[in-house]
Amino acid sequence: MTNDFLNTPIEYLKGVGPKRAELLKAELGISTFAHLLVYFPFRYVDRSEFLPIGEISANTPLVQVKGKLIALQQMGTGRSKRMVGYIQDDTSVLELVWFQGLKWIQQKLKINKEYVAFGKPTEFNGKMNMAHPEIEDIKSFRENAVKGIQPVYNVTEKLRKNFINPKVLAKITHYLVELARGKVPETLPSYLVEDTNLVSLEEAFINIHHPESHDKLRQASRRLKFDELFHIQLRNVKLKKRRNIEYNGYLFPEIGQSFNQFYKHHLPFELTGAQKRVIKEIRSDLNAGKQMNRLLQGDVGSGKTMVALMIALIAMDNGYQTAFMAPTETLAIQHYNTIEKFLKDMPVEVRLLTGSTKNGERQEIAEGLDNGAIQILIGTHALLEERVKFKNLGFVVIDEQHRFGVAQRARMWKKNLLPPHILVMTATPIPRSLAMTLYGDMDYSVIDELPPGRKPVRTIHFTERNRLRLFGFIRQQIKSGQQVFVVYPLIEESRSLDLNNLMEGYESIVREFPLPDYRVSIVHGKMNPADKDREMQRFVKGDTQIMVSTTVIEVGVDIPNASVMVIENAERFGLSQLHQLRGRVGRGADQSYCILVTKEKYSTEAAKRIKTMVDTTDGFRIAKADLEIRGPGEMDGTRQSGIADLKIADLSTDGELITLARNKAEEILRADPSLEKPQNQVLWAIINTQSSGKINWSDII
Ligand code: ADP
Ligand code: MG
């Protein structure tokens, strides 16, 4: 926004000047008042209260105490020379220690006077003490500005060296927020501020930097988080609406022969409630005359593919073709086989197109697509190529969203006169709040129910020490006719180490499970594809009972007879990877097991991951835990989208505020689609300066 005050160069702020201005710009990108206003503290130090000394413990963070100095003496010699003081309040006595500036301390402090001491308490020999506290007599404390809740800012090494430390920055921001009174324009319509119980932006800026109280700080933070989230949502919803206005979509009004025949005679099971609900949601899109852009989330095995297939049959009943795109050849083949099997007695032409499709077959497929003989085309990225042309493409299914970019999605749009309906399916569950932000311009459906009869996989944690028990368990499972996966990690950086690890593991398994009673397969990334495939097939057919592999099976074949998934070095896997691996078992009717094997010692983060896995099989709970452990910056897709750069809102903890922001954005755009009402002027102005998916505070204020 254009605003003279906010655009004032930072050098004109008291305490800055040209030299510091240059440094602030180079180090922190701060060149105007606005930039500094949105340079939020990363934490606060509470100097608004005094803690009774008796309540201090080893895990108390920074504290402030008030009391009488009852003794002060120099102790030790040489390097252990130190000044020790004792400060006493009604509850107890605290030891204060200085190793430097002894002389100065001795001159400054007087016995029997009242002081305020501030610092980090630590425990030493069973007693609490505080080293190098900030200390001030009560009189100068009362007169001095440093009290209340103090902001702490991040500064760089270079800034520190040039005497711009967090305290100096706190002083500078203090001048700024004082100046800012009466000069910060609102970024939200006043009715919205009122409806949502927010404080004004000005008040928020003042209190985020120099809070008057905890309550004011909380309100300030809520307001600023809301701004950030609301403007993302406003943009998402606007984008979605604009697409709805600009792009008409094909109508699929018919529920015809293909669908009905399949539903009545071929569908081998009852659909789950969640599947039915999602099909309804999709159908309402298909009858709206607008292009559908829908994200379908559902855990591994929740039956997404079946939903997609049934929509493909509706497309066919209405004279449209379907393209079904998977991220890898293995997955494309698997989808092809599954769909072929389901449709085997139906007059539907399904073909597979991948990078390894031979030219002759390609030619045939091209003809079939062109004359409409092929109704469903399944494949990989190969489908995106320009030479792949359809007679009348109406429906596109994209499996595993995160491997395809937005630009690739858009290439499918151009394969017909109107853009076809798009259904993006992902088995990586992400919390709704994150989905709303990352894929906020899409509609969202979720299959939150597994087909009946599935027994949840039991997850057990073993350490190296329990290996004999583990082998015994495997033996017993194999005896009762089951097959077993044993998976090793493979991390790019330690490829050769990991490979050694895998080979060693393989050898010990072969030793433990010898011929002729047992047969063991091995698959890893260094093998040539033909060998890999042969080994895989041996396991699929049941010729071998144990499959030792790296995570190549992560996205892979279905083997209902495999009931045990052993994950070695489980402490090295991420949560979503563990969850995907576990999803490989539990497909059949028997009780399945996932066994996480770790060393005796591992990080606290690894411990949290293991505990989550043992506690739950619910993909959404796992995703939530993952988000909490790793933070949103590490989640799939967040990097590219820039969402990880949020300044103040936190996607893992601000779910409620995200929902509120989303609802308000929808409400406002429903009532005023082009934001032309006078009360929405301010929003119109902001959205027109926003240039990318990234939220930019300099666009907001
Ligand atoms: P996803 O694609 O979500 O991983 P799939 O569609 O591949 O799941 O389904 C997993 C397995 O469950 C398949 O073997 C499928 O045939 C079966 N399945 C799907 N829906 C149901 C249902 N409603 N009842 C029983 N089995 C189902
Ligand atoms: Mg699937």
Cβ atoms within 10 A of the Cβ of 691, count?
8
Mean pLDDT of the region 568-584: 88
- For residue 175, what are its two tokens? 């001048």
Report how far residue 129's alpha carbon sits from residue 125's, in angstroms, rounded to the nearest whole number: 10
Report the atom number in ligand 1 closest to the C-alpha of 300: 4
Tens digit of each residue's pLDDT (9 = 90 or more) over 121-148: 988 877 889 999 989 898 888 876 556 8
Return the ligand 1 atom nearest residue 304 CA.
3
The Å distance, Cα 398 to ligand 2 centre, comes to: 11
Residue 1's pLDDT is 45
pLDDT value of residue 146: 59
> Which residue has its alpha carbon closest to ligand 1 atom 17?
303
The answer to whether the peptide bond before residue 121 is cis (omega within 30 degrees of 0) is no
**Among candidate residues 362, 453, 406, the one with its CA nearest the CA of residue 641:** 406
> Sheet containing 114-119: which strands, arranged edge to edge?
121-124, 127-131, 93-98, 82-88, 63-75, 114-119, 134-137
CA distance 162 to 526: 53
Pocket test for ligand 1, best of 278, 295, 306 (most atoms within 8 A of CB): 306
Alpha carbons 290 and 421: distance in angstroms, whole number: 9
522: part of which helix (H) or strand (E)? strand 520-523
Residue 258 has pLDDT above 90, yes or no: yes
Has residue 493 got a pLDDT over 70? no
* Distance from residue 276's CA to the centre of ligand 2 (Å): 17
> Across the chain, how many H-helices and E-strands are there?
26, 22
In tens, the pLDDT along 338-347 reads 899 999 889 9
Across 645-649, average pLDDT:
78
587 and 558 Cβ atoms separated by less than 8 Å = yes
Distance CA 626, CA 573 (A): 12
Residue nearest to atom 25 of ligand 1 (CA): 451
Q: 8-12, 78-82, 240-244, 567-571: which range is least confident on average?
A: 240-244
Closest Cα to atom 9 of ligand 1: 303
Other residues' Cβ atoms within 10 Å of the Cβ of residue 668:
24
Ligand 1 atom nearest 306 alpha carbon: 6
Average pLDDT over residues 169-194: 93
- Report the percentage of the chain scoring pLDDT > 70: 92
Q: What is the DSSP letter of 263?
A: I
Ligand 1: atom nearest CA of 305 is 6
What pLDDT score does 144 carry? 66
Average pLDDT (489-518) is 83
The atom of ligand 1 lying closest to the CA of 298 is: 3
For residue 377, report the distance from its CA to the centre of ligand 1, in Å: 20
pLDDT of 692? 44
Residue 154 Cα to ligand 2 midpoint, Å, equals: 45
Above pLDDT 90, what percent of the chain? Answer: 51
Compute the distance from residue 426 Cα to the ligand 1 centre, in Å: 14
Query: Considering the chain, what is the average pLDDT of its residues?
Result: 87
Q: In degrees rounded to 5, what are phi and psi of residue 655?
A: -50, -45
Give the atom of ligand 1 at the shortest distance from the alpha carbon of 270: 23
- C-alpha span between 538 and 519 (Å, rounded): 10
Q: What are the Cα distances from residue 177, in Å, to 181, 203, 207, 562?
A: 7, 9, 9, 64
* Rounded Cα gap, residues 9 and 2, in angstroms: 13
In this prediction, residue 576 has a pLDDT band, given cuts at 50, 70 and 90, of confident
Ligand 1 centre to CA of 266 (Å) is 14
Q: pLDDT band for position 404 (50/70/90)?
A: low
Q: Determine contact, residues 88/70, Cβ cutoff 8 Å.
A: yes
Q: Give CA–CA dist 137/45, Å, rounded.
A: 19
301 alpha carbon – ligand 1 mean position (Å):
5
Residues 593/400, Cβ–Cβ less than 8 Å: no
Write down all domains in the chain, each with its CATH number in brackets: 1-47+148-183 (no CATH), 49-145 (2.40.50.140), 257-286+302-426 (3.40.50.300), 458-616 (3.40.50.300)
Q: Which atom of ligand 1 is nearest to the CA of 271?
A: 23
Question: What is the DSSP pairing of strand 134-137 with strand 114-119?
Answer: antiparallel
What's the CA-to-centroid distance between 308 and ligand 1, angstroms? 11
Confidence of residue 169 (pLDDT cuts 50, 70, 90): very high
- Index of the ligand 1 atom closest to the CA of residue 308: 6
Pairing of strands 43-47, 63-75: unpaired
Ligand nearest to the CA of 297: 1
Nearest residue by C-alpha to atom 11 in ligand 1: 301
d(CA 277, ligand 2 centre) in Å: 18
DSSP one-letter string for 180-207: HTTTPPPSS-HHHHHHTTPPPHHHHHHH
Q: What's the pTM value of the predicted model, to 2 decimals?
A: 0.67
pLDDT score at 299: 82
- Lining residues, ligand 1, CB within 6 Å: 269, 271-272, 275, 298, 300-306, 427, 451
Count of Cβ atoms closer than 10 Å to residue 234 Cβ: 23
* Ligand nearest, relative to CA of residue 300: 1
Query: In 3D, which of 475, 456, 491, 463 has the Cα closest to residue 583?
Result: 456
Q: 426 forms bridges with which residues in the sheet?
A: 297
Q: Please say if the pLDDT value at position 402 is more than 60.
A: no
Q: Which ligand is nearest to the CA of 400?
A: 2
Segment 389-399, tens digit of pLDDT: 999 999 999 98
- Alpha carbon of 265 to ligand 1 centroid (Å): 17
Rg for the chain, CA atoms, rounded: 32
